[in-house]
Structure 1
Amino acid sequence: MSTTSEPLKRVIVTGGAGYIGSHVIYILQETRRYKVISIDNLHNAHPKSLDRVAQLARDALPKDATKQEKESAEIDAHTCDLTRPDEIRRVFEQYGKGGIWGVVHIAAYKAVGESTERPLLYYANNVGATVSLLQVMSEFDCTRMVYSSSATVYGTPPIIPIPESTRLQADSPYGKTKVMSEAVLEDLCAAEPNKWRALSLRYFNPAGAHASGLIGEDPRGRPGNLLPLLAHMAIGRVKDDKLCVFGNDYPTPDGTCVRDYLHVVDLAKGHLLALNALTDNSEVFDSCPTPARFKAYNLGKGKGLSVLQIVEAMRKATGFDYKYEIIGRRRGDVPDLTADPALAEKELGFHADQDLETMCRDLWNWQSKNPNGYDTEIPPAQPLATTPQVYEPKTHPIPPVTAVPATVITTA
């Protein structure tokens, strides 16, 4: 909550209508210090998520809210393809040179399995779009970025839990797009150290939803990640009679892949902490070995959970009797991705407090209240006012992405 009368800082959130993006917007609006601008091509997201997250912000306003506080509860939303610089530029032009304080860059394709089948699509969308975005940002004197990276940059790590000092050696094209984008950011910060500052968040596996059940994960088509797939099975949207688990011969306690799950709201708070650390008086860059103001942090709980542990937790949360079948390993998967979040805890003040039970409970609350996702009509007892939006019509087709059935989540 804002306690000052400073003007709102305009911040772009790319992928703002998506699962992670909508929760990041919620946390930014909660401070009443930021004016959020969402950029999304709506390829795997729903514009209704922005209506709902803005309603959460409006409902939290005090009765005597100031004009600025009311403004902080509204979202400027733009339909925009980041692979097209002219579309990005049209957004920035609306706010003028220096008019946007910073960018939280979340938008990306994120399916590990699919990236091994369609690598060019992933390199063009994830790396190419990041380069285009940075070029336009530079044109408009917007030189602060929080980058949404991934634990997959580490590949098969030699040390568990994984420290940030681990060499970057991704095993999948998806992971490599994150390594490349981080390299671009670091090189840019090194080339113009008095201009650019950026923090890369290597986060692990977001789960859960906002406790209200108004916003949550609603992938188009068959979910490519484990937890939403389990939720769709329990609600009846996925009719499979059993879950396919990719491998049970990994060097893990039960043989299935282990991942570090954290609540999506905790993850969103990590993005806010990183954004706050990009201010001019921030001390997080003081320990950088070079003048480049670029740093990477792990966000996670520091405790891994296996595929079968997740299945059992969802069984308890939903009451659904999941059946599963072990099949062969999936190319690109690694045995264990568990974070060492000590650096983020020390320097950013980050903590992932919410446990697996809460994640599954909040996920099921979202899914059971919204059996058809954002296409579910909210009952009259929970009216949602229409949020004023600025939607630019799409001028080109978005390339389709074929859903790949998956049971091991690897996050963007």
Structure 2
Amino acid sequence: MKNKILVTGGCGYIGSHTVVQLIENNFEVTILDNLSNSQENVIDSIKEITGRKPYFLKCDLKNLKHLENILKYHKGFDAIIHFAAHKAVGESVQNPLMYYQNNLTGLINLLASAKKYKIDNLIFSSSATVYGKPKSLPISEKNKTQRPSSPYGNSKKVAEEIIEDLAAASKDFSAISLRYFNPIGAHKSGLIGELPTGIPNNLMPYITQTAIGLREKLMVYGNDYPTKDGTPIRDYIHVEDLADAHVKALSRLLNKNQESNFEVMNLGTGNGFSVLEVIKTFEEVTQQKLNYEITQRRAGDVPELYADAKLAEEKLNWKADRTLDEMIKSSWVWEQKARKQS
């Protein structure tokens, strides 16, 4: 029998790419999504890529009664992959309560419902922001988590602590928290990718939307950081590499290969690129000139983040191997296709 997997936020950017790889690895997928920052037509794109349509249920995790009714009716899930969350650093600084209410209430409701209906395996979509401003680089899992500089990051840190406490209290429950660095890129088909509503909070869709003429100019938030060119440095990872890691982490859980009930792993390339380096590489790869302007720093940003991802390589037999050029090319193909369809 196929393993049944519940994917919350499965219509979103990382969720949809992971759903594709789950289907391609013969898992039976049900998506839960409230469509607050995604579109239902992603389901059709997933079917076009894989030949199979995942089951879709519209649900807001903050509605405990609705969630419990779904899990009561749709039985037999072997694991949950939990992506559903608000994720914009700047917005979280402006509206912290919205972030805590959505990201933490949703998680607690999901865990309580999973416990009630005996779904004992969880993969949690976490973030490198849980490390706060790192004292040393590259960042390994041995780095202590610190109070992040944004409510978004703090919601991920607190969420991990909640999951860890549940894993300690329940011998049947197991979880892996995957701490992403900066996902970019799109599926090689060009049929799914990052399509945020409003002005993008992440660099790559801001770049591609500017290049295609949707935005007048790209704002670069600060050039006075203590980095090689003054702009923030991040570890960019292709979303398809990221999706592959989720499938491998899921197999680790289902095969009971964990060394403890709660594990954390970094997902990154180990290479850092500055904002200006990404802009320059985009211009070289696509032959598109970008209109950009340096402005003041954005609240909640830290100067430099890049990963030590050796643990995921060792435990999951996984390594990010797509290059920055590949990430940028796929993002640009996706942006052009998406605008033709809209």
Q: TM-score range by the shorter chain?
A: over 0.9
User: Is the 8 Å Cα contact of residues 9 and 32 (structure 2) preserved in structure 1?
Assistant: yes
* Mapping of residues 200-211 of structure 1, within 5 Å: 200-211=177-188
- Give the root-mean-square deviation of aligned CA atoms: 1.1
* Mapping of residues 54-65 of structure 1, within 5 Å: 54-58=47-51
User: Is the 8 Å Cα contact of residues 6 and 29 (structure 2) preserved in structure 1?
Assistant: yes
Equivalent position SS for 2:264: strand
Equivalent position SS for 1:325: strand
For these two proteins, the number of residue pairs brought into alignment is 341
Q: Deviations over 1:19-64 (max 9, x none)?
A: 11100000101111x1100011001101111111122111xxxxxx
User: Is the 8 Å Cα contact of residues 46 and 53 (structure 2) preserved in structure 1?
Assistant: no
Question: Following TM superposition, by how much is the alpha carbon of 1:355 offset from its aligned partner in structure 2, in angstroms?
Answer: 0.2
* Partner amino acid, structure 2, of 1:21: G
Matched, 1:48 2:23: no
> 1: CA distance between counterparts of 2:337 and 2:296?
35
State the partner residue of 2:57.
78
State the partner residue of 1:87.
66
Structure number with the bigger relative contact order (C-alpha 8 A, sep ≥ 6) is: 1
Q: Deviations over 1:231-262 (max 9, x none)?
A: 11111222x2x322111111211111011001
* Mapping of residues 209-220 of structure 1, within 5 Å: 209-220=186-197
Equivalent position SS for 2:253: coil
Q: Which one has the bigger helix percentage?
A: 2
> 2: CA distance between counterparts of 1:324 and 1:157?
29
Question: Following TM superposition, by how much is the alpha carbon of 1:323 offset from its aligned partner in structure 2, in angstroms?
Answer: 2.6
> 2: CA distance between counterparts of 1:183 and 1:321?
44
Matched, 1:182 2:150: no
Matched, 1:312 2:280: yes
1:370 to 323, 338, 341: 338
* Partner amino acid, structure 2, of 1:53: I
Question: Following TM superposition, by how much is the alpha carbon of 1:219 offset from its aligned partner in structure 2, in angstroms?
Answer: 1.0
User: Is the 8 Å Cα contact of residues 44 and 53 (structure 2) preserved in structure 1?
Assistant: no
User: Is the 8 Å Cα contact of residues 259 and 306 (structure 1) preserved in structure 2?
Assistant: yes
Equivalent position SS for 1:329: coil
* Mapping of residues 114-193 of structure 1, within 5 Å: 114-169=91-146, 170-193=148-171
> 1: CA distance between counterparts of 2:208 and 2:291?
14
Equivalent position SS for 2:230: coil
1:299 to 231, 247, 267: 267
Runs of at least 5 residues in structure 1 that lack an aligned partner in the other structure = 1-6, 59-72, 378-412
Question: Following TM superposition, by how much is the alpha carbon of 1:340 offset from its aligned partner in structure 2, in angstroms?
Answer: 0.5
Question: Following TM superposition, by how much is the alpha carbon of 1:280 offset from its aligned partner in structure 2, in angstroms?
Answer: 4.5
> 1: CA distance between counterparts of 2:221 and 2:194?
22
User: Is the 8 Å Cα contact of residues 35 and 74 (structure 1) preserved in structure 2?
Assistant: no
> 2: CA distance between counterparts of 1:160 and 1:267?
21
Runs of at least 5 residues in structure 2 that lack an aligned partner in the other structure = none
User: Is the 8 Å Cα contact of residues 210 and 291 (structure 2) preserved in structure 1?
Assistant: no
Question: Following TM superposition, by how much is the alpha carbon of 1:320 offset from its aligned partner in structure 2, in angstroms?
Answer: 2.1
> 1: CA distance between counterparts of 2:221 and 2:50?
40
87-96 or 21-30: which moved more?
Answer: 87-96
* Partner amino acid, structure 1, of 2:107: T
State the partner residue of 2:256.
281
User: Is the 8 Å Cα contact of residues 30 and 54 (structure 2) preserved in structure 1?
Assistant: yes
Equivalent position SS for 1:209: coil
Equivalent position SS for 1:278: helix
User: Is the 8 Å Cα contact of residues 317 and 364 (structure 1) preserved in structure 2?
Assistant: no
Question: Following TM superposition, by how much is the alpha carbon of 1:310 offset from its aligned partner in structure 2, in angstroms?
Answer: 0.9
1:333 to 266, 282, 301: 301
1:15 to 5, 9, 13: 9
Structure 1 segments of 4 or more deviating over 3 A? none
2:289 to 309, 321, 339: 321
* Partner amino acid, structure 2, of 1:173: P
Question: Following TM superposition, by how much is the alpha carbon of 1:319 offset from its aligned partner in structure 2, in angstroms?
Answer: 2.4
User: Is the 8 Å Cα contact of residues 223 and 231 (structure 2) preserved in structure 1?
Assistant: yes
360-369 or 84-93: which moved more?
Answer: 84-93
Identity %: 43
Query: Highest Rg: 1 or 2?
Result: 1
State the partner residue of 1:394.
none
User: Is the 8 Å Cα contact of residues 7 and 82 (structure 2) preserved in structure 1?
Assistant: yes
Equivalent position SS for 2:320: coil
